[in-house]
Structure 1
Amino acid sequence: MATSEPMDPEAAFAQLARIKLGETDLDGVLGTIAGLARQAVPGADEVSVTLVRDRKAQTAASTGDLALYLDEVQYALGSGPCLHAAATAGAMVLSRIATETRWPQWTARASELGAGSSLSIGLPVQERTTGALNVYSTAPEAFDDSAVQVAESFAAYAAVALANAHLYDTTTTLAEQMRAAMEHRAVIEQAKGIIMAERRCTADEAFRILAGLSQDTNRKLRDVAAALVAQASRRS
């Protein structure tokens, strides 16, 4: 059910702005967005966040099972208000789901589950990723013009927070990949040095020997190098 005392939208916006990306991950940001929207949008019973990447949609965060199921029915059908909002970056208001003529398969199932009205706002996240903030109510006509305005303003703040989190997550992943690559390179160089010392060969010849061992044993080059370095350490 909707909260009896909705959060002041300005307080919700302020909380979004205070998210510290170094202290949470993308999932944490998504969960915060859904939770704050449920408190801030008048009439909201449940909220979810849909992300669409490469035409594949998923519910990245939800405040309850009803929102999650209403999203997943749309994904299975390939159409619905949240997918339309994500594709158009617009707002989709269904005041009375029971009498809505668009997406008849989804509205029929949503009505059976007790959904009375819904509101979806598009979230432009990143070049290849779009999304939607989905607000559901068990009551018909739950979202008046004021509620829609609050949801649109909230979505604008949320899109910025989400885009920043997505960028931070991507940058952090890239940094970790670069760090791992440098570590692998260092191990390979160590292994080459060991081979050069033992066989009195050049660096190129040592690398060819490593590559040959990798191919013969069907193991990754870095794993062969790491095993050689570990073996040399034990001998010393």
Structure 2
Amino acid sequence: MAEFDGQPGREAPPACDVSAEQAQSDEVDLHQGLSSLAHVVADARSVEDLLSDVASFAVQAIPGVDGAGVTLVEFVSGSPRAHAWAATPGFVRDIEILQYNKLQEGPCITCMQTRRPAVSGSIGSDDRWPRLRGSVARMGVHSVLALPMLIGDKVIGAINSYAYERDVFAEHAVRVGEQFAAPAAVSIYNAQLLATARESTERMRRALESRTVIDQAIGIVRSRSGIAAEDAFERLTKISQAENVKLHVVAERLVDEAVRKAQLRQGSGPQNAADVDGRD
């Protein structure tokens, strides 16, 4: 039996309402959604692209969904704060903006705080979100299923499914949704780790390149002035501060100008070049 927090005072549709044929069809849709998810992970998509894909796959995989959103969060003083999300179609984005940016309440926030799915069959009369419910109901949206995405004990976000009809999401939909949310959470988390690793590698590459060109510039200044490496570095630093440009930019400029002068001496380069250190 799926465990979830239903709407207080409203009886959810019975689990036996789902026919064998419908259950089999939902199983096929879930399998297709999970297969699609596996393919985009294999393609190493960006986190933003993956969120959009997961939102689309949730519409396909979870029965009764008219629109879905996926949210990534960070917790500030114990409260979830969205830092990335994707939604399909547009009305879901409007609901997400209300929850995170304006009201700080809603099924998505609740499910992440409780770490349990939150279900509402008539959000317009749901007392759990008194400021949100009227706005959502006026959009013509009545049912919601919010599923926390968990990695171990850590909440990384939520998948939020919405439907225009009332009482769409019962135990069957929750169970199917949880089967989709678990691997989706792993996929998104791994995509985040991969993106972080790529950013770290790129920063390291840029740092190494900068260090190399700075060392080259120091060597050029030393060869021209006969000063120590520390003094050459200080000279480059002063130029950087005086011109308010980064040190590696000063170094690159000096190295490029040294190369042009060398080409000039060989008769194959530009005819005028000035050294960064002021020497002819």
Answer yes or no: same fold by TM over 0.5: yes
Q: Distance in 2 between matches of 1:22 and 1:5?
A: 26
CA RMSD of aligned residues (A): 2.2
Is 1:117–2:117 an aligned residue pair? no
Q: Distance in 2 between matches of 1:78 and 1:138?
A: 23
For residue 228 of structure 2, the aligned residue among 194, 197, 202 is 202
2:26·2:61 contact (CA, 8 Å) conserved in 1? no
For residue 43 of structure 1, the aligned residue among 60, 64, 87 is 64
Is 1:62–2:87 an aligned residue pair? yes
Paired position in structure 2 for 1:235: 261
Q: Which moved more, 1:184-193 or 1:216-225?
A: 216-225
Greater Rg by CA: 2
Deviations 1:110-159 (A, max 9, x none): 11110111010111369997311000000000012111101111110100
Q: What residue ranges of structure 2 are gaps of 5+ in the alignment?
A: 1-24, 263-280
Paired position in structure 1 for 2:99: 74
Q: Distance in 2 between matches of 1:9 and 1:224?
A: 57
2:216·2:255 contact (CA, 8 Å) conserved in 1? yes
| Structure-to-structure mapping, 1:142-157, within 5 angstroms | 142-157=168-183
What letter is aligned with 2:72?
A: L
| Structure-to-structure mapping, 1:4-153, within 5 angstroms | 8-20=29-41, 23-55=44-76, 56-58=81-83, 60-75=85-100, 76-124=102-150, 130-153=156-179
Q: Which moved more, 1:56-65 or 1:38-47?
A: 56-65
Q: Distance in 2 between matches of 1:85 and 1:172?
A: 31
> What secondary structure, in the 3-state scheme, does the structure 2 residue paired with 1:154 have?
helix
Q: Distance in 2 between matches of 1:191 and 1:22?
A: 41
Normalized against structure 2, the TM-score is what? 0.77
What letter is aligned with 2:119?
A: V
> What secondary structure, in the 3-state scheme, does the structure 2 residue paired with 1:38 have?
helix
Q: Tell me: CA distance 1:116–1:25, structure 2 relative to 1, closer, same or farther (3 Å).
A: same
Q: Distance in 2 between matches of 1:129 and 1:179?
A: 32
> What secondary structure, in the 3-state scheme, does the structure 1 residue paired with 2:159 have?
strand
Q: Tell me: CA distance 1:109–1:7, structure 2 relative to 1, closer, same or farther (3 Å).
A: farther
Q: Distance in 2 between matches of 1:128 and 1:79?
A: 20
Q: Tell me: CA distance 1:125–1:181, structure 2 relative to 1, closer, same or farther (3 Å).
A: farther
What letter is aligned with 2:33?
A: A
Paired position in structure 2 for 1:171: 197
Normalized against structure 1, the TM-score is what? 0.91
Q: What residue ranges of structure 1 are gaps of 5+ in the alignment?
A: none
Q: Tell me: CA distance 1:131–1:5, structure 2 relative to 1, closer, same or farther (3 Å).
A: closer
What letter is aligned with 1:40?
A: A
What letter is aligned with 2:71?
A: T
User: What is the Cα deviation at residue 17 of structure 1?
Assistant: 2.4
Q: Tell me: CA distance 1:41–1:20, structure 2 relative to 1, closer, same or farther (3 Å).
A: closer
Paired position in structure 2 for 1:211: 237
> What secondary structure, in the 3-state scheme, does the structure 1 residue paired with 2:40 have?
coil
Is 1:191–2:217 an aligned residue pair? yes
> What secondary structure, in the 3-state scheme, does the structure 2 residue paired with 1:105 have?
coil
User: What is the Cα deviation at residue 207 of structure 1?
Assistant: 1.0
Q: Distance in 1 between matches of 2:121 and 2:183?
A: 24
Q: Distance in 2 between matches of 1:114 and 1:24?
A: 34
What letter is aligned with 1:12?
A: G
User: What is the Cα deviation at residue 26 of structure 1?
Assistant: 1.0
Q: How many residues align?
A: 233
